[in-house]
Chain A
Amino acid sequence: MSTPDRSHALIQRYLDGVSSEAELAELEQLLATDLQFASAFAEASRLHAGLEGYFRKQYKIDQVAALLAASQPVSSAADRPAGGRSDGPPVPERLVKPASPPVPTFVPGYRWWSNSRGVRIESRPANAFQRLSRYRWQWIAAAMLLLTLGTFLWSSRNQAQDRPFQIISGRVAVAGREVTEIHENALFEVVGQGAAVIELAGGTRVELFPSTRATFRRDSMRLLMHLESGGGDFSVQPDQPAVQVETVLGMVRSEGSRFSLDLVTVLPKRFSPTAPVWLPTLSVVVAQGSVTVEHAGVATRLAAGEQRVFMNPT
């Protein structure tokens, strides 16, 4: 390897945090003795910092842009959300009515079992008991199976409920005290200057911004995050459980997507908007997949690359 290639590799490996002790010693030696190398190191460090700043702040810029765009007065009918609502920010064309969930057809276990075997329990004839007794062992087995299944579901639900959420990085406080894990129904806050990464059930990780306040709670069997203020980046793999985020401005649902949320309830002290800004506002930016936001009775689906700011009617 020629010297410039070696120098470049040494610097790149150092900035990627994969230098060995020997490489680190070589780098230090070159920094101290070779002005050209030191200069290349400074340039590479600037680029590294510039890329970090550019990519990690890009979504923030998008959100502020969306916030400012939303603060412009709605002037034309085309800008208005479907349904004639003149309040709030524009709603994307891909406005979808919330589809009614399919009504589950509940077939009690004994009826399903009996139907599959041609046993007509509903119109039981006079000697039904005698006929039924022929199946008593199957009945007992079915009952035991149901009992086992019920116990299993009950215990796994309790286990899932009892399992706290792990804080992978960053600092989180509950009731003013820093914690290393978060339990359901506990209001927590991201403290310090950095974001906090929290692992949810199934391995989904959320990176919450500093000062974010939220609670994890369970809505029947589903876990949802109640976001009071702040926001974060959510990355949900297709094979992981769906993520639901409940906010004062509506519910955000996502399966297999990457998106950012920012619920602004108070403007930063230094922020002096030139146009009126309504609060609270919920900014949603979708990087991958799609996200559905239910706001003011309307479900809006945002696809990858779309962003939207939601706010209450004035």
Chain B
Amino acid sequence: MDLQEEYLKLLFGCELELRAFIGSIVRGSHDCDDLFQEIALTLWKEFARYDRSRPFGAWARGIAAVKLMQRWDQSKRLPVVLSPEAIQSVCNAFDQSEVPASRRAEALEHCLDQLPEKSRRLLALRYERSLTIEQIAQELQATLDAVYQSLSRLRARLQDCINRRLSAPGAR
């Protein structure tokens, strides 16, 4: 396996985690995509120095964290919203609870399948059509608070379901 092939294999393996990490710190999906590409390029440039005894995901997040800290602008908070201290804490938290992305994706799909159609429709409005809470409230003719509470409860329920699925005995 040549170097480029090895790099791509490792990057694709942790792409979801890396995107989740960047997305938790950066506002706006376009900015997330741009920063992900920028970081992927930096990772490739640094790949010769990657210590293979360390998990690739943690190494990649470390470099991504530095990149994001460099983009931090306290006055604007855009596109990087969190302060460097907070970024470091998030990076550590991601490192401590890493689960293979494929298992997490499988658990999410399983838990989504358990939801009633109405709940899936609400999630689709938020995540497929990228509507804001306000736009969803308008579309459903509901109050902002009702939409916010429904989404919040749904995500808590999904999170519980995923955690149970990942920690269940016999889970892959």
Report which A residues bind B (CB closer than 8 A): 8-9, 12, 14-18, 24, 27-28, 31-32, 35, 38-39, 41-56, 58-59, 169-170, 193-194, 235
Contacts and interface: CB of A to CB of B under 8 A. Distances in A.
B14 interface: no
Interface of B: 16-17, 19-21, 23-24, 27, 29-30, 33-34, 37, 77, 81-83, 85-86, 89-90, 92-94, 96-97, 104-105, 108-109, 112, 123-124, 126-130, 132-133, 148, 151-152, 155-156, 158-159, 162-163
10 contacts: A14-B81, A31-B85, A44-B159, A47-B155, A48-B23, A49-B19, A50-B104, A51-B158, A56-B128, A170-B30
A305 B123 CA distance: 17
B85 A54 contact: no
B127 A16 contact: no
B93 A8 contact: no
Nearest to A28: B86
Main secondary structure of the interface of B (DSSP, over half): helix
B128 A49 contact: no
A64 B130 CA distance: 22
Nearest to A56: B128
A204 B156 CA distance: 34
Contacts of A194: 29-30, 33
A235 B139 CA distance: 13
A9 B152 contact: yes
B24 A54 contact: no
Given A28-B85, A194-B29, 6 more contacts: A12-B155, A31-B85, A48-B155, A50-B105, A59-B128, A193-B33
Nearest to B31: A194
Given A39-B96, A194-B30, A16 B148 contact: yes
Given A45-B21, A48-B20, A48-B24, A16 B151 contact: yes
A43 B97 contact: yes
B108 A51 contact: yes
